[in-house]
Every structure is written in C-alpha cells, then in structure tokens.
C-alpha cells in the first residue's frame, strides 16, 4: 500500500496538491466500486473539512456503490443535520443536486442497536501492552455501519492528545465510533499514566490499545491524516491508518508543541467557541498543564460554557474533579462509575496527591465560565467571576510569570527542557 503525502514546515499546502493526493489514493483504494464509509470529526476539532469534503466526494463517490458519512462523536452529543452539512461545507440544496450519493449519520455510542461486537482484547494482551498496569478482557464494539461497508476511510486532524499522545488515525474508530467499554478502558488507562506523561508522546500504551482494537475491524481501513496550521493544511497524508498517522504525528510534534522558556505561576487559557461544555473545554487545561509552576493557577476562560457536560454531567456532579490517586486509593468506592468520566475528572484536576484523606493538587484549576459558583465549588474546582475578568490584564506579562493563550486547546505548551517542539518565538 502506497503512502501518499505532502508536508510543509512553513506555509500551507495548495488545493491542487491536496486534490492530487486524494485522487491517487482513491484510484488505489477503490479499483472497483465498493461500499465506502467516510468517518469525519465533529465540530470540536479544527480542520478544513468544508474545503476537503467536495474534493473527497469528487474522487471517491464515483468509485463507490454506497457513500456514507459518519460523524465520529465518541460520547459527544449528536450534530443536527444542518450542522453536519455546515461542517462539510455544503448547503441542503447543494446536497441534493451535487452530492446525491452522500448520506450523513451520527454515531450513537450508547445505543446497542447501533453497535456491533468485533472481538475482544484478551487479558494477557492488555497486561503486555500496559506493562502490567491492567490485566482484564476488554470487549470491543464499534458502530455496526463498519460491517456494512467494504472500505472505511478515517479523515481528520492530528494534534497532541492527553489520553493517547497524539490524536487521529485509528482514534477515529476508537473512541470516535466505538462502544462504551473500550472507550472507558483506554481513557482510564491514559489517566492512570497521567496527562503529563502521555500528551505529545508518539508511542504510548494507549495508542497500542487503540491500534490493536482497530485491527479487529473486518472492513479495509484507510486514512487521510492532516496537520492543521492557521486554518490551512501543513501536512496531508493518505494510506494505511498507522502509517499516515505516524507521518502526521511527526509533523504535529514540530508544529503543535511550543517550548516555553520558563514556567508560569498564572496561566489564562481561553477556550474557543467550539468547546461548548467543560467536557470538551478541559482541553484548555491539558495543553497548558506542563507549563504551570507548582502551586500555580490555571484559569479556563470561557464565558460561553454553561454546562459541565451535556452527556456526563450527572456523574460529574456526583464525583467532582479530583487527582488520580483520590480515585485509585478509594477504588472500591469509585470503580463502578464510568471509567471515562473518572479519566476526564482527573485530567482536568491535574497531577497531585491523596494522602491520609487530604487531596493536594499540584496546581489550582479555576473556572471563569458561565458555570455558577456553587456548581464550581460542588465539583471541587475554583471559581472566578467571568464578568470581572479582562483578558488584557494577563497579556504581555510573561516575564512576570503570567501567560495568556488566546486560543487554547490544541497547541501543547511545554517547558523548554522537554524534548521536541518549537521555541515560543517561532
């Protein structure tokens, strides 16, 4: 299988070059008409899907007998049809006239009728992959649409990621269109290893779990993996998911990781509007946790966020946000909660200790959002009155130990001593 791809460490790829890659890949992947399932990201990932979709359809749909598009929601809420069409850059009128083969679908992770079992990761394999941290069977379920297609094409961006190291590739299957058990398992595995030890690392136990689960999918798998910079494409790779992702992750490590000259006692992390609850807005913590000094404060600034989690809010209101060892050292009390929820909780709270009934987080996480103060206190996070916060008060003060990031959530900030990445002035 040929790996098609282009990259640029500066500037953006032109449309003609990207289309040439898509055309070459389509010719190789579909020598005869087949049933195609295109898996795309939801609105919480930055990528020019609106510019890419017409190109994908132009070259893939004529070679397909069926052309379905499935939104990789994971456990996120479903997207209305008009939002899906907006995501792929077409109007309802254009859909009927120019894209007649295309049918658009949301993944439904909790609906048993929407899922199919494709196998099991055995305890011995899990023990080997996790270096003995876990030893248990894990059932692997995925959206049953993959069983109804000959070719599954995974299409999405690659960024540093708190659970798996770098996003993209087979992650659009797991958790993108997966069932609950496999989602919960590998998110908790990532949380036990911790964000600081995983994020921005290419080879992680979690990635091994994701790739092993993907190998159980019976349909042929291919991927378009992209690296996004300033809204354009710095890299675009087509091929086997593992190979295309590997190239994209290498490029992402150079573009999306910024090495800072110092740590900061105060960080203002501004959430873009694509994060509409704390479940997704938590990324503004994960990407900046490494540069917050011990005892420092990270403020998530998001006036538009009014909910903890659309999907998992009830669980989070019960358990709150805590460091990892809070759960591990009281495991019998918390083991029956969804492990993915526990993982999110400890990722947002960050590193810390739980000793003799006392929780000591390494840093203080404060919400300057539309979430009321009493809810912040209930879930064990700090509160700041968002109406009194001025972003300008935090800007231009790096030498004082104050950092402001205007669009947080995708670029990883690390201390300069960390390997990889680019310096802050580039």
Residue 231 has what pLDDT? 86
Indicate whether 419 pLDDT > 70.
no
Residue 223: how many CA atoms within 13 Å on its side-chain side? 26
Indicate whether 131 pLDDT > 60.
yes
Residue pair 57/88 in contact by the 8 Å Cβ criterion: no
Domain span(s) for CATH 3.90.226.30 in the chain: 258-423
Nearest of 74, 58, 66, 73 to residue 25 by alpha carbon: 58
Nearest of 176, 191, 204, 159 to residue 344 by alpha carbon: 191
**Mean pLDDT within 75-85:** 95
% of the chain residues with pLDDT over 90 = 95
CATH architecture of 4-255: 3-Layer(aba) Sandwich (3.40)
Beta strands in 332-393 (DSSP E): 352-355, 358-361, 364-369, 382-383
Residue 9 has what pLDDT? 73
Q: Which residues contact 394 (CB under 8 A, 6 or more apart)?
A: 266, 268, 402, 403, 404
Residue 10: pLDDT band by 50, 70, 90 thresholds? confident
d(CA 237, CA 406): 29
d(CA 290, CA 237): 29
Beta strands in 261-377 (DSSP E): 264-270, 292-302, 352-355, 358-361, 364-369
% of the chain residues with pLDDT over 70 = 98
Residue 11: pLDDT band by 50, 70, 90 thresholds? confident
Residue 295 has what pLDDT? 98
**Mean pLDDT within 117-145:** 97
Strand order in the sheet with 422-423: 412-415, 257-260, 422-423
Q: Could you give the residue ranges of the DSSP H alpha helices within 320-364?
A: 324-328, 331-334, 339-349
Residue 425 has what pLDDT? 56
Tens digit of each residue's pLDDT (9 = 90 or more) over 326-360: 999 999 999 999 999 999 999 999 999 999 999 99
Tens digit of each residue's pLDDT (9 = 90 or more) over 186-233: 999 999 999 999 999 999 999 999 999 999 999 999 999 999 999 899
Residue 418: pLDDT band by 50, 70, 90 thresholds? low
The per-residue pLDDT of the chain, averaged, comes to 96
- Any idea which fold 258-423 has? 2-enoyl-CoA Hydratase; Chain A, domain 1 (3.90.226)
d(CA 17, CA 5): 9
Token pair of 186, please?
């590998």
CA torsion 243-247-249-253 (nearest 10°) is 160
d(CA 367, CA 303): 10
Domain span(s) for CATH 3.40.50.11440 in the chain: 4-255
Tens digit of each residue's pLDDT (9 = 90 or more) over 269-313: 999 999 999 999 999 999 999 999 999 999 999 999 999 999 999
Residue with tokens 């510019």: 51
Pairing of strands 160-161, 165-166: antiparallel
């Amino acid at each position: 299988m040929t790996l098609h791809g282009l990259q640029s460490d500066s500037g953006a790829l032109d449309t003609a070059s990207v289309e040439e890659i898509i055309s070459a890949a389509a010719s190789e992947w579909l020598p005869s008409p087949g049933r195609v399932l295109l898996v795309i990201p939801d609105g919480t990932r930055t990528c020019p899907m609106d510019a890419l979709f017409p190109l994908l359809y132009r070259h893939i749909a004529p070679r397909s007998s069926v052309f379905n598009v499935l939104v990789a929601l994971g456990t996120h809420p479903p997207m209305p049809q008009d939002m899906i069409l907006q995501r792929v850059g077409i109007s309802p009128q254009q859909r009927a006239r120019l894209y007649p083969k295309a049918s658009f679908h949301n993944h439904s992770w909790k609906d048993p009728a929407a899922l199919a079992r494709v196998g099991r990761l055995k305890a011995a394999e899990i023990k080997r992959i996790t270096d003995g941290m876990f030893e248990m069977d894990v059932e692997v379920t995925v959206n049953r649409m993959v069983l109804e297609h000959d070719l599954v094409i995974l299409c999405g961006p690659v960024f540093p990621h708190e659970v798996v190291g770098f996003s993209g590739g087979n992650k659009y299957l797991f958790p993108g269109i997966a069932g609950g058990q496999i989602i919960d398992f590998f998110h908790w595995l990532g949380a036990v290893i911790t964000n600081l030890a995983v994020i921005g690392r290419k080879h992680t136990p979690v990635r091994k779990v994701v790739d092993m689960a993907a190998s159980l999918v019976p349909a042929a798998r291919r991927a378009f993996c992209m690296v996004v910079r300033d809204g354009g494409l710095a890299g675009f790779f087509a091929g086997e998911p593992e190979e295309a992702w590997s190239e994209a992750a290498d490029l992402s490590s150079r573009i999306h990781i910024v090495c800072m000259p110092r740590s900061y006692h105060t960080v203002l992390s501004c959430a873009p509007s694509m994060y509409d609850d704390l479940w997704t807005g938590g990324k503004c913590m994960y990407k900046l946790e490494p540069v917050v000094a011990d005892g420092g404060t990270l403020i998530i600034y998001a006036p538009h966020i009014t909910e903890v989690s659309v999907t998992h809010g009830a669980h989070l209101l019960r358990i709150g946000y805590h460091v990892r060892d809070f759960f591990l050292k009281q495991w019998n009390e918390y083991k029956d909660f969804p492990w993915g929820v526990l993982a999110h909780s400890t990722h947002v709270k960050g590193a810390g200790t739980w000793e003799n009934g006392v929780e000591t987080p390494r840093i203080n996480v404060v919400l300057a959002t539309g979430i009321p103060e009493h809810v912040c206190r209930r879930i064990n996070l700090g509160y700041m009155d968002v109406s009194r916060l001025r972003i300008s008060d935090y800007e231009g003060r790096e030498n004082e130990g104050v950092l402001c990031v205007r669009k947080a959530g995708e670029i990883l900030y690390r201390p300069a001593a960390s390997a990889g990445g680019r310096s802050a002035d580039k």
